[in-house]
Structure 1
Amino acid sequence: MKNKVFLFAFSLFVMFFSSCSGVIGYGVVLWNVSEKEIPDGTVVPVYLKSNISKVYVIGVPGTKEKIEIPLWKLSNPESKSRAVKYAKKYSEYTGKYAFCIFDGLPVRADKVNTSKQVYRLKKNEVVRALYKGNGVAPTSGGNPLPGEWLRVLTDGGIEGWCFSYNLRLFDMNRDGSYGAGAEVVEVQQKDETLDKILFTYWYPEYYRPMISKKQIDLEYILPGYGFDSGYISGTTKISLPNLNVSFPYSEFEKMDNGDYRAKDAPVEIIPRSSKYIIVRYIDDSGKPRNYTFTSLEDDVRIEELISEEKSRRQGLYKSIQALGPDFKSGNYGTLSFNDNNIFRWSGFMKLVPAVIPQGAKGIGFVETKYFLDGTLKSSWDGVVTFHFENASREVNFLYKKEVNGLRLAYANIVEKYDDSFGRKTVSVSLPANSMVLFFQK
């Protein structure tokens, strides 16, 4: 019975198709009709819509010919004036299609990275770029990715929003062949290793142990530090504590040893693994300088790490302040922890000059910037750093919060300079003869 109904409906469709002349509306071609060389953005008359066959019958511009096209290739038929107005919305991206360069790239319902996924693109899949919209840029390691939100159409009729960072726009010719821009993408896609390197933002190698150990050094972790190949941004950059150079993007070519060299910039890339690369920069004197960089997981946000570390440090100070805020010692005076990390300390002369520098005033500010490892971590709560007014150096104490007060022990801070990145690493130790102070609350 169903087959008979279908055949009857189909026969009616064929008869109507062969004789129809009434226009039911006008639509905008959303995807190139290559067999008749009808480019996207063209306004065409619509004679019939078949929900059974899922096609429109449209007129070929400049002829009396009528053809079928899939429903998804055409906007909903309406008046000609409205269709023309609708076509203007697509005018900026007429003939623009895009390769997806990232397997699993989501197409979303709205212009924000947390919006519902309506589709996931495969690597090398082609979509039509319809128009752009304002939205919230996705981030990588806390940095907004370059690009913009594009309304895209898949080869199957699914529409949604996709951020352009992992798309490569190219022109589609009227006959369906790929035009300008496609050749660049095809060249880059021949080397998946280079592809991965170019489309990844790389961070200084020391970021990874900082993050894994949850010991964020605010002096040396910044959103801008890292290596940008320049393929997306147009500028190749190396930004480190001891180096900040940039060059207009230059294509990277593979050398015989498997490394990559920029054609017109003093930069080479040496792959080490999927998570590590070495960037070799040839300085003005011709000396090569090597820097190791790492990629980070997509959910890592550098700005969030910085914010969390600042909150952690402030929390440590507040916990000391909450225990007191005033502490007294018969031998070492009165110590108060006030708001805004300000301390006041009177009667500390017995600690001068062995611990506290000569001439230091009894006021200053406090930090909790150092981290403990090993046995110190099990015996002490942390390190409190005093910056006395008129003092030549900072003063560091290990501290332990007790039920009835605060225990301090002079801490030894050893700095080691890391020449490769231009930063100082710090280790904290407790000298064998360290002075231990106890302040009652």
Structure 2
Amino acid sequence: MATFTFNMPDVGEGVAEAEIVEWHVKVGDTVSEDQHLVDVMTDKATIDIESPVDGVVKEVAGEVGDTIAVGAMLLVIEVEGEVPDEVGEENAGTVEAPAEPEPAPEPDQEPEPTPEPKPEPSPEPKSVTVEPPAKVLASPAVRKRARDLGIDLAQLKPAEDGRIRHGDLDQFLAYNSGGGFSAAGTSRADEVIKVIGLRKRIAQNMAASKRNIPHFSYVEECDVTELERMRAQLNSARGDKPKLTMLPMLISAICKLIPDFPMINARYDDEANVVTRHGSVHLGMATQTDNGLMVPVIRDAQSRNLWQLAREIGRLAEAARVGSAKSEELSGSTLTITSLGPLGGVATTPVINRPEVAIIGPNRIIERPMFVRGEDGQERIEKRKLMNISISCDHRVVDGYDAASFIQEMKKLIETPVLLLGD
């Protein structure tokens, strides 16, 4: 037998450390080569670490939430025989040879008698039938919470897309705790949740953004009646193109204005005291997932038409939700847009995605009566669709006048949407 120390591998991209997100093995488990051992999260992405050898886990480096430096011990695995040199070199591990056997006793010494082991009773054979588990779609966070609560996910009825979410667990708990739904609600035990993985990254990034950036926000009301009418017309004749939402139209308006407002599409390196105004718009798109907020990036948004934007928005949002987004699709944004869709509220004050200097937030569309001046110059009351546009800016880089001017120009494009289709 030999002991193999498997060190945290170098995952590239200049990563110096990684956070343990989830262990898939524990001390005492038998593992095989290429078996999934642990998930770790870097600043770029979540990475699966696999075993380079067969053996038995003797030690693990830490608990979920701990940070492990590249090259530090990750696991210790006891292996049969010897580990090939190339395995140890490739995985930056170390191999300890088995201990030397104790020397035989001298002729004049009597060896210690070895007690004979008592035979253990043979267990009675039992016939066990294992039913294959039903296939249930749920995120790792939902699965872990269900395990902690002792809930079999197969008992829950999922949403229309077939995926079980935290809300389904809440509903199941509420119904089963009292034999039915209660208008007054039901009491629940306190739940202690360790902040790890993506949620920990979000917490760190948001705290750093609010701590280091002097935010200010500006909100303007826009009449989107004509924009919604144009969107409906385009969708009615879209053919096999993706359905247009409001988002690609707003992104198109943003991109048209950036050449006149370069200070909005910028990143501020406050350590080097350098502001970089980017020529291309790499637009971050804040996306809610079961694990938390992610920001996939639409590269060169200024070069895409409405349909191309709609297709890329759909692709990136789905990749973020199912966890298949690549690290390069989750970094490098120069400006971010965040939308809560129908939950958007009247106005928002979004937090800047550091080191960017601005973030734009469209809010909910509401219908309201307004005074409208007709071609005859007379005012009349009409039902109009209205939406507030919010922007938060880094006051070290963007002046209030610039932010207000940018949103006012955006308002003109939104309220005269034919301008979006012009060069």
| TM-score of the two chains, using structure 2 as the length reference | 0.24
Higher helix share: 2
Higher relative contact order (CA 8 A, sep 6+): 2
Larger radius of gyration: 1
Higher strand share: 1
